Structures are given as structure tokens and as C-alpha cells.
Amino acid sequence: MSDWNKKIIEEFRANEGRVGGNFANMTLLLLHTTGAKSGRPRLNPVAYTKDKDRLVIIASKGGAESHPDWYYNVLANPNVTVEVGSEKYEAIATVEEEPERTRLYDQMAAQYPGFEAYRQKTSRVIPVITLKRKG
């Protein structure tokens, strides 16, 4: 894990899901995945929005031409753990198809305009993943 992510995770856990800096006005969650190749636990802070009873995350990687590693982990094992605020629970991750993918991406971009910039920056179709609590 990068030192940058480690600091965000520590701040997130110390402040019941709130962080400062570049993410001060964003809703963040901690996504626990299993490494697609290694099988080892992985942890990433990710911005999210809500859609009914689901959380929505975007595999934007800041508009890079490649997907983030956590996206491949979700494809390999959609059983994830989510930390939101001070709550932690098991969830199922689903990669959304069109037209739902675009609807949810637009929803995120309306809430956080940086996601529109990410979409404009890359030629790839940025995946949208929903997280639904198990049980």
C-alpha cells in the first residue's frame, strides 16, 4: 500500500470516515478486496455516491488509460468488505452494464465534477461498480 493511501486510511478510521485535504468534501469508503493474482488482502480508499440501497464506486484511476488494480480484484472476487463511516460490512460488487453504467457515472460526475474531467482525459470506458450489502 502506498504511504499516501495509508495516511488517508488512518485519517478515515480516526475520524469515522471523514478526511481532509483533497477529499474534505467527498464521501469516501474503504474497499477491502482480495488480490486477483496474489490472493492477499488489499485495501483502497475510494470515493462513492449512493443509489438507493447500493453504494456506487468508479474505477477512474484519475483518468489514466489503465484500470486501477482494485478493479481487477473485484472482477476476480466480487465478495468485498466495505467500511463506511464507523461501519464495516460484507458486500457484493457488481460491474454495471449500459445504460446503468452511464446513468451512475453521470450521477457521480454531478456530485464530484472531477469525475467528468477523468472521463474526458481517457479513451477507455471507465467501469462503474455497485456495492450491495450482503444479507
**Residue 59's domain is classified under what CATH number?**
2.30.110.10
What mean pLDDT comes out for the span 36-40? 95
pLDDT of residue 27: 93
Q: How confident is the model at residue 21 (pLDDT cuts 50, 70, 90)?
A: confident
Report which of residues 95 and 21 the model is more confident about.
95
Q: What angle do CA 95, 6, 27 make, to 5 degrees?
A: 50
Q: How confident is the model at residue 1 (pLDDT cuts 50, 70, 90)?
A: low
8-22, 77-91, 97-111: least confidently modelled range: 8-22
Report which residue type is found at 85.
Answer: G
Cis bond leading into 41, ω under 30°? no
Q: What beta strand segments (E) does 12-78 contain?
A: 28-34, 41-51, 54-58
Q: Find out whether 109 and 126 touch, Cβ atoms under 8 Å.
A: no
- What distance in Å separates the CA atoms of residue 13 and residue 121, rounded to the nearest whole number? 32
Q: How confident is the model at residue 4 (pLDDT cuts 50, 70, 90)?
A: confident
Q: What is the DSSP letter of 21?
A: G
What domain range is 95 assigned to?
3-133
Cis bond leading into 99, ω under 30°? yes
| Cell numbers standing for residue 21 | 485535504
- Render pLDDT for 92-135 as a digit per residue (tens, 0 to 9): 999 999 999 999 999 999 999 999 999 999 999 999 999 999 98
Q: Is the per-residue pLDDT at 2 higher than 80?
A: no
Say how many domains are in the chain.
Answer: 1
> Quick one: which of 117, 112, 134, 124 has its CA closest to 57?
112
- What distance in Å separates the CA atoms of residue 25 and residue 84, rounded to the nearest whole number? 15
